[in-house]
A and B are shown apart, each in its own frame.
Chain A
Amino acid sequence: MSYAMVIDLKRCVGCQACVTTCKAEHGTPPGVTRSKVMRKEVGKFPNVMRVSLPMLCMHCESPACVDVCPSGATRKREEDGIVVVDKDICIGCRACAMACPYGARYPVSSKEGYFGKTLTPFEEAKKDGMPIGVIDKCDFCFSTGKLERGVVPTCVQNCITKARTFGPREEMMELVVERKGYQLEPELGTDPSVFYLP
């Protein structure tokens, strides 16, 4: 069984709630954005609109990052298809960040917090999970134990428009096929597990 996520772009309003809740859940330092929302204005006046594209690790079926990892720190879990990084093993070569076509991997390099050198109590509590020099990325909230408890990832939980759906890939595929969903950069052969509904 593999997990997958479906993001309905018609519902997404680009509010960044997913970004904020991810930051709060994992305490990622500056420069690390496991979840991000790209926004762009398209069209010509007067027919213009703002489009949003929420992005995260695509947990690909054929992940490019796993192949290039020299230490075996990055691996795809057989149990649930989640691509995880073992931060005790990662050597910080950033080969995975180079290989990932979605820019979903971030080297943890900042010793400072969001408010300068002195960390807030929250940042202090979370810093052990963000060692300097290794790679950080979305793990569908696997590291927080949410999935084991049967709870969906925090970005799914806190999406204000319920644009995100999370579950076994087979179930998600029904929605994807029905709504003519698509993957990002399918031509690269990574077969992402995050799908977008137009």
Chain B
Amino acid sequence: MITQDMTSIDPKSPRNVMIKPEVQTHWGWWVVLYIFLAGLGAGTFLFSFIMLFMDKLTDPARIGVFIGPILVSIGAFMLLLDLGSPLRAFRLFTTRSTWKTSWLVRGSYILTIFVILSLAYGLLPWLQASALGKGLGLVAAIFALLVLVEPGLLLAVNNSIPLWNTSALPALFFFSALNAGIALFVLISLAFPTTIGVAEFQLMAYINIVILIVTLVVLASFLEIVKETGSTAALSVRLLLSPSFVRWGIQGGMLAPLAIFILCAIVPDVVDIRFFYVVASLLILSGGLILRAGMVNSGLRLPVIS
């Protein structure tokens, strides 16, 4: 086999890096916005559905199950705008067999099914209480889980970009998107001051604290795993951890909201909590966007060595 012959390269001959690791330039802001909005929408729907299912915070949850698929649709539209030939996008659904290997095709099916099911669930409030409605919502929630991991998989399958080529990336995007979804849910909750009291806000604070801590642990593990996989990966991590990313993505987007939520969990004054919640939620949302932008824009390609 030729791969065995390849090992017979003279070890004394110098190996030269002919193309240095370069940041990928093919995917930019449209893809970043898609990843962010798809995750945010699915996260909002999932959390809202869970709340409806548990019969808690039902007023904002009814809005959340409707807003979720709208955000995912806007995200999908961003991906459409990124295409060189958007009018041919129908081919994502008409080409047989490509779903076996392409995450773009799988993602298109997942997003479409999710949007249809979740919109049906969100737009028909009388359906939600019925067994059929609950079943529909449950299937939509399962597809929301898939929407949460699909953008990560879309990037992670590229083995020429070591920063992305790890199973930790879908996990990171999953928890980060869930976080953003809950943050949006909190912002929606602020529109219902009469029904959402201190106890409800504190419940959301506890959930946010747990998810934020998990996201931070996954992010730390992701960085630790990736930087040990090779020099290009280590370089990507250094590129990712720019001062502005650390300040706005990690400190501002994760640590500051975590501190605020811990504070909210112990402060009983609901008026103060609302103010802090707005700040923390907006920080989480901006942090989620920065995380994805950093991840896409720090994707260094492997060098070509001769």
What separation, in Å, do the CA atoms of A38 and B8 have in the docked complex? 24
- A155 partner residues in chain B, CB cutoff 8 A: none
**Residue B266 at the chain A interface, CB threshold 8 Å:** no
- Asked if A92 contacts B9 (CB within 8 A), the reply is no
Q: How far is the CB of A1 from chain B (nearest CB, A)?
A: 16
**Residue A26 at the chain B interface, CB threshold 8 Å:** no
- Asked if A180 contacts B9 (CB within 8 A), the reply is yes
Which interface class (under 10, 10 to 19, 20 to 34, 35 or more) fits A? 35 or more
What separation, in Å, do the CA atoms of A69 and B98 have in the docked complex? 7
Stretch binding the partner chain, chosen from B49-57, B200-208, B284-292, B298-306 = B298-306
- B97 partner residues in chain A, CB cutoff 8 A: 72
Tell me the chain A residues, 1-57 only, with Cβ under 8 Å from chain B.
Answer: 9, 38, 40, 42, 51, 53, 55
- Asked if B102 contacts A92 (CB within 8 A), the reply is no
Beta-carbon nearest neighbor of A106 in chain B: B26
What separation, in Å, do the CA atoms of A70 and B117 have in the docked complex? 24
Q: How far is the CB of B108 from chain A (nearest CB, A)?
A: 7
What separation, in Å, do the CA atoms of A64 and B161 have in the docked complex? 13
- Residues of A contacting B: mostly: loop
Q: Digitize A61-102: 1 where CB-to-B-CB distance is under 8 Å, 0 elsewhere.
A: 000101111111000000000000000011111110111111
Tell me the chain B residues, 137-158 only, with Cβ under 8 Å from chain A.
Answer: 157-158
Q: Digitize B269-306: 1 where CB-to-A-CB distance is under 8 Å, 0 elsewhere.
A: 00000000000000000000000000000000110111
Residues of A in contact with B (beta carbons under 8 Å apart): 9, 38, 40, 42, 51, 53, 55, 64, 66-72, 89-95, 97-103, 107-109, 131-135, 173, 176-177, 180-186, 188, 191, 196, 198
Q: Which of B83, B159, B305 contacts A92 (CB 8 A)?
A: B83
Q: How far is the CB of A124 from chain B (nearest CB, A)?
A: 21
**Residue B245 at the chain A interface, CB threshold 8 Å:** no
- B194 partner residues in chain A, CB cutoff 8 A: none
